[in-house]
Amino acid sequence: MTTLTLHATGPVAPAEAWDRYLHPARWSSWAPQILGVDTAADRITQGVTGRVRGPLGVTVPFVVDEVDDGSRRWRWTVQVGPARMTLLHWVTSGPDGGTTTGLRVRGPLPLAAGYAPAALVALHGLVRS
């Protein structure tokens, strides 16, 4: 297992970035690797499950482990074949306004390292208008 941490800063207000995380229907608008999300939930909360649809027909089941609105942090686990990855996201005010968002990925090294470039692109998309 390995842990990678990524960050991005941009002009979007923290409340807007957090709202983009909270609603799975919005994920594909800022994360190009997500083509859609299949879930019965309009908003993520602990215990929400679903599937993320990616390129080439790949779907990845997920469960939301925790959501903390006060600190704007949430964690979920995704199943990729026989492997699992845990992703912890957070949103804070940026140093010069806007938002800084972070992601801590924990999982098998090849999977975490392979996901990191797409995740970084998505983080930048999250904090841009």
With a cut of 90, say whether residue 91 has pLDDT above it.
Answer: yes
Rounded Cα distance between 111 and 120, Å, is 14
Q: Around 70, how many Cα atoms within 13 Å sit in the side-chain half-sphere?
A: 0
Question: CA–CA separation, 40 vs 82, rounded Å?
Answer: 24
pLDDT tens digit sequence for 2-45: 999 999 999 999 999 999 999 999 999 999 999 999 999 999 99
Q: Does the structure show a pLDDT above 90 at 96?
A: no
- Average per-residue pLDDT for the chain: 97
Residue 48 clears pLDDT 90, i.e. is over it: yes
Inter-helix orientation angle 109-126/14-22, to 10°:
130
pLDDT of residue 10: 97
State the chain's maximal CA–CA distance in angstroms: 42
**Alpha-carbon distances of 70 from 18, 47, 50, 74, 91, rounded to whole Å:** 11, 18, 24, 11, 11
Tokens of 102: 């972070």
**Domain containing residue 57: CATH number:** 3.30.530.20
Degrees (nearest 5) of the Cα angle 69, 71, 73?
75
pLDDT at residue number 129? 87
Predicted confidence band of residue 73 (pLDDT cuts 50, 70, 90): very high
Q: Distance between alpha carbon 101 and the CA centroid of its chain, in Å? A: 10
The number of beta carbons lying within 10 Å of the beta carbon of residue 68 is: 11
Number of domains in the chain: 1
The parent domain of residue 113 ranges over 2-126
